Amino acid sequence: MIDFMKMIDASRIVDLKAKTKDDALHELIDVLATSDKVTNRDELSEAIREREQLNSTGIGLNTAIPHVKIPSVRDFVIAIGRAHHSIDYGSTDGEPVYIIIMIAANDKQAGEYLQVLANLVLKLKDRAFRNKVLFASDPEKIRDLFCEKA
C-alpha cells in the first residue's frame, strides 16, 4: 500500500508563480530540494530536465508528473504545484497544465516507483479530485486529498 503521508509534506505544496514549463520545473525543483531526502539539488535538476527532454511528462487532463529515480535521493519525496493560470507544458493532449506533481525517488525503488506513479494517475483521472485540488483553500487540504485512501 502506498503511503503518501510519508512522501508529501504540506511545505512542498505551492501555488506556482511560473508562467512557463521551464520556470515551473525550476520552481518545483527548488521546492523538492528543501527535503533532506534530496542530497544533490543539481543532480535532481539535471535528471528532471533530461527526463523531460525524452518525452513530456504532461499526461493530459491538465496535469503533469515530472519524475526521476536517482542515487542522490534517499527516499520518495513529492512536490505539488498548482497554477491558477494555464501553463503550456507540451502535454500529450495539447491542453495546458494546472497541476504539476514532481516525484523523486532513489534509483533502487523501481517497483514502488511504478506503484506511486500508477496511484497518482488513477487519482488524477477523476475530474472531481482535480477540481478539489485546484480549489482547495490551503496546502494541508491538498495533502489530505492525496493521502485519502481510494
Angstrom distance (rounded) from CA 37 to CA 28? 15
For 104-145, the pLDDT digits (tens) are 999 999 889 999 999 999 999 999 999 999 999 999 999 999
* Burial class, 74, CB count within 10 angstroms (exposed 0-12 / middle 13-18 / buried 19+): middle
Euclidean distance between the first and final Cα of the chain, in Å? 11
4-147 adopts what CATH topology? Answer: Mannitol-specific EII; Chain A (3.40.930)
Model confidence, pTM: 0.95
Half-sphere CA count of 97, side-chain side, radius 13 A: 31
For the chain, what are the domain ranges? 4-147
For 74-106, the pLDDT digits (tens) are 999 999 999 999 999 999 899 999 999 999 999
